[in-house]
Structure 1
Amino acid sequence: MRVRGSAVLIENKKVALIKRIKNGVSYYVFPGGGMLKDETPKKAAKREVYEELGIDIDVKECIAEIDFNGKQFFFLGDIVGGTFGTGQGEEFSDESKGIYLPIWVDIDDLPFIDVKPNEVAEKIKTLFK
């Protein structure tokens, strides 16, 4: 299993997520992905957010370390540039990976949607009440 770096981006009581639709099933994930050679989880989170969302972030502290399909690190981040929703990563052009939709979700709505991993959604609710 790969080590992954992901970002938790909060603005105006909303969290940035990617709605995934694959084989007729919808769920939500945090932007992020696997580390490249010689990359740290923090650097992977920054790169993946740019690829998936089209934005530059300042990566802050790690708020969660989860064993979910491998070791995943979740970092708070602040948007410092770019335009949300303009990502050009390979997942947007590879139809076999399903549909990727960058969206903002109200923190209060997290209990009502299928967020993976749920432990991070729970942590966000406690941090940003």
Structure 2
Amino acid sequence: MSNKESNSDNNDLLPISPEALASFQNNREFIINETLHRSLKVDQDVEHHGEKAHEIIKKGLEFTTKMLEAAMSVGEIALLEDELKWAKDRLPHDGVEMGHVLSRFKIYRNVVMETMPAEHGVEVAKYIDEMIKQLQYEL
């Protein structure tokens, strides 16, 4: 996909500062749990999962967090693009629509900005914004 390749070439970000990465790591569990809590309140995004909603969303947030942390550590947007490609191929088998993922990314971003010190949150948000932008482009 040539657009994807050009996005990787043009949108690589610098790795985030060690302080921002440490702040993200220190707040990781809260960010995941708060995003999960807020996501579960969006009935149209989760009701079709039934009793598995909590488990499905939590696993997705944990995976996203690991990939985000890796990408931010090295400044590699391609890692996030690969995650989104995998998500588009795999998640529909679990009944997860990309629109739901987009909604959760936006919630995740809000939680990051509310939780972390502003200067660190802004660094992390740049990466989340890239994920949101890429997913919006694909929808």
Structure with more strand by fraction: 1
Structure with more helix by fraction: 2
Larger Rg over CA atoms: 2
Q: Place the TM-score, normalised by the shorter chain, in its bin.
A: under 0.3
TM-score (norm 1): 0.25
TM-score (norm 2): 0.24
Higher relative contact order (CA 8 A, sep 6+): 2
